[in-house]
Amino acid sequence: MKGLRTSIIQEKKRTEFVIMEDYKFLFKVVLVGNAGVGKTCLVRRFTQGLFPPGQGATIGVDFMIKTVEVENEIVKLQIWDTAGQERFRSITQSYYRSAHALILVYDISCQPTFDCLPDWLREIEEYASNKVLRILVGNKIDREDREIPTHVGEDFAQRHGMYFLETSAKEAENVERLFMEIAAELMEQARCKELPRYEQNTTSLNGKTTSIGDAGICGCSRLS
Partner 1 sequence: MMLAMGRRLKAIECFLRRWVSSRPDPELTALRYNVKRGSYAVPNDTHVAFFEKLLGPGGVITDSQECDAYNVDWLKIVKGSSRLVLRPRSTEEVSAVLRYCDERRLALCPQSGNTSLVGGSVPVFDEIVLSMRLMDRIIHTDELAGVVVCEAGCVLQRLDEHLSGRDLMMPIDLGAKGSCLIGGNVSTNAGGLRLLRYGNLHGNVLGLEAVMANGNVIDCLNTLKKDNTGYHLKHLFIGSEGTLGVVTKLAIQCPNLPKAINVAFLGLRDFKKVLETYRLAKGELSEILSSCEMMDRVSMDIAEQALGLKNPLASENDFYMLIETSGSQLSHDEEKVKAFLEKVMELGIVDDGTVTSDPSKIQKIWEVRERLAEAMSKEHYLFKYDISLPLSEFYSIVAVLKDHLKDCDVRYITGFGHLGDGNLHVQVLTSDYDAKVNARLEPFIFEYTSKMRGSISAEHGIGFKKAKFLRYSKDESAIELMRNMKRAMDPNGILNPYKVFT
Ligand X SMILES: Nc1nc2c(ncn2[C@@H]2O[C@H](COP(=O)(O)OP(=O)(O)O)[C@@H](O)[C@H]2O)c(=O)[nH]1
Binding site for partner 1 (CB under 8 A): 4, 8, 11, 15, 17-21, 23, 26, 28, 44, 48, 52, 55, 59-65, 76, 78, 88, 90-91, 94-95, 98, 199
The option from Mg ion, partner 1, ligand X, none interacting with 129 (CB < 5 to 8 A, set by class) reads: none
Task: Identify the residue among 70, 136, 162, 169 touching ligand X (CB under 6 A).
Answer: 169
> How far apart are alpha carbons 70 and 64 in whole angstroms?
19
The option from partner 1, ligand X, Mg ion, none interacting with 169 (CB < 5 to 8 A, set by class) reads: ligand X
> How far apart are alpha carbons 138 and 121 in whole angstroms?
15
> How far apart are alpha carbons 28 and 57 in whole angstroms?
22
The option from Mg ion, partner 1, ligand X, none interacting with 72 (CB < 5 to 8 A, set by class) reads: none
Amino acid at 149: P
Closer of 39 and 100 to Mg ion (Cβ): 39
> How far apart are alpha carbons 39 and 45 in whole angstroms?
10
Q: What is the CA radius of gyration of the chain?
A: 17
Using rule CB under 6 A, residue 113 touches ligand X: no
Q: Scan residues 132-151 and list those touching ligand X (CB under 6 A).
A: 139-140, 142-143
> How far apart are alpha carbons 3 and 78 in whole angstroms?
17
- How do beta strands 25-32 and 73-82 pair? parallel
Residues within the interface to ligand X (CB under 6 A):
35-41, 57-58, 84, 139-140, 142-143, 168-170
